[in-house]
Structure 1
């Protein structure tokens, strides 16, 4: 599965949009949701590190 991009996208669709069919629109939505999740995690971690070094 690590080398098969389509299978990874289908797994993302199953994770973020359970019960939906594997259409190109749903795959694109799942990829967008995953990218958004990781962007939010990056921001949250950066804010946590800043808070740890600078205090409240």
Structure 2
């Protein structure tokens, strides 16, 4: 994976995470999920994306 590919995937992942967070926020406002569940899901998503980004960083070839 090149640095350019990693940048593209990072931007794509950021947009997906933003969409997921907006979706979770909307579900919370509608009363479908509680604030506690929202917090757990948000933290879980953040951890998953940090791990994926770390894996991608290791696959970058100089």
TM-score, L = length of structure 1: 0.53
Deviating runs (4+, > 2 A) in structure 1?
none
Aligned: 1:44 with 2:59: no
Higher relative contact order (CA 8 A, sep 6+): 2
Aligned: 1:9 with 2:20: no
Greater fraction of residues in helix: 2
Q: How many residue pairs align between the two structures?
A: 37
After TM superposition, give the deviation of residue 45 of structure 1 in Å. 0.3
> Who wins on radius of gyration, i.e. which is larger?
1
Contact 1:10–1:22 (8 Å) recurs in 2: no
Q: Where in structure 1 are there 5+ consecutive unaligned residues?
A: 12-20
TM-score, L = length of structure 2: 0.49
Q: Where in structure 2 are there 5+ consecutive unaligned residues?
A: 1-18, 27-31
After TM superposition, give the deviation of residue 10 of structure 1 in Å. 6.0
